[in-house]
Chain A
Amino acid sequence: MSVAAQVTDSTFKEEVLESEVPVLVDFWAPWCGPCRMVAPVVDEIAQQYDGQVKVVKLNTDENPNVASQYGIRSIPTLMIFKGGQRVDMVVGAVPKSTLSNTLEKYL
């Protein structure tokens, strides 16, 4: 159903920080309503920017270390990483245009 792969505390460094292309990370939790709203938007972004941007999801309940390390509070939080650094973030169930406009700055 979802096109974005899941990353974990143990794969985050390799999959996100060491990625050669910018990465959009969707920090989500199972019983979070707005996470369900934003998931299809994230999938659309993954398809639209296929090859230019890597799109992954991280379950904050199962991977608390990465979530805490990056100071995740409100969920969903969509964070953009480039060259191993966090460069931007968007919080909440945002429209696709907001997300793509934020992402375009780092391509």
Chain B
Amino acid sequence: MKPTDSSNLSTDKSLEAMWQFAQTYAKRTGTYFCAEPSVTAVVIEGLAKHKDDLGAPLCPCRHYEDKKAEAGAAFWNCPCVPMRERKECHCMLFLTPDNEFAGEQQDIPIETIQEVRSSMG
């Protein structure tokens, strides 16, 4: 897989995989995306980039001493253990309906993600 338009961004294949995963997982867990779609977009891109670089969608909202080792340990691979056990996503990708930042969507157009990431990458 070649990068889409810059080596700073994820491949189309990983982006699409993480986009599909996020929509499916939100519906399965009864969680919602952030009312601000750019938050959802950057997190999905961050997960896709880690999937390309590390082979696993390591959470992009944490700092790690060693990303490769953390991806191997799997605790913070999305969906992480706190999400699976307690629906806690500090990255604000999956928000429970009572969260003040939760929107009403469990879908996000892939075009939105592409626009946001190309404005940042």
Contacts and interface: CB of A to CB of B under 8 A. Distances in A.
Interface of A: 27, 29-37, 60, 64, 67-68, 72-76, 92-93
- Residue among A30, A31, A75 with most chain B CB within 10 A: A31
Given A64-B63, A75-B63, A92-B90, A37 B42 contact: no
Given A32-B46, A34-B39, A93 B63 contact: no
5 contacts: A30-B42, A31-B46, A33-B61, A34-B90, A76-B61
Contact of A34 (B45, B65, B91, B120): B91
A11 B45 CA distance: 29
B40 A33 contact: yes
B36 A37 contact: yes
Given A36-B38, A36-B39, A37-B36, A31 B45 contact: yes
B62 to A, nearest CB: 6
A76 B92 CA distance: 12
A33 B43 contact: yes
Interface size class of B (residues with CB under 8 A): 20 to 34
Contacts of A93: 92, 101
Contacts of A72: 63
Nearest to A63: B63
Contacts of A29: 46, 60-61, 63
Given A37-B39, A73-B62, A74-B61, 12 more contacts: A29-B60, A29-B63, A32-B42, A33-B34, A33-B38, A33-B46, A34-B39, A36-B36, A67-B63, A68-B65, A76-B61, A93-B101
Interface string B80-103: 000000000011110000000100
Given A74-B90, A92-B90, A27 B63 contact: yes
A86 to B, nearest CB: 15
Contacts of B43: 31-33
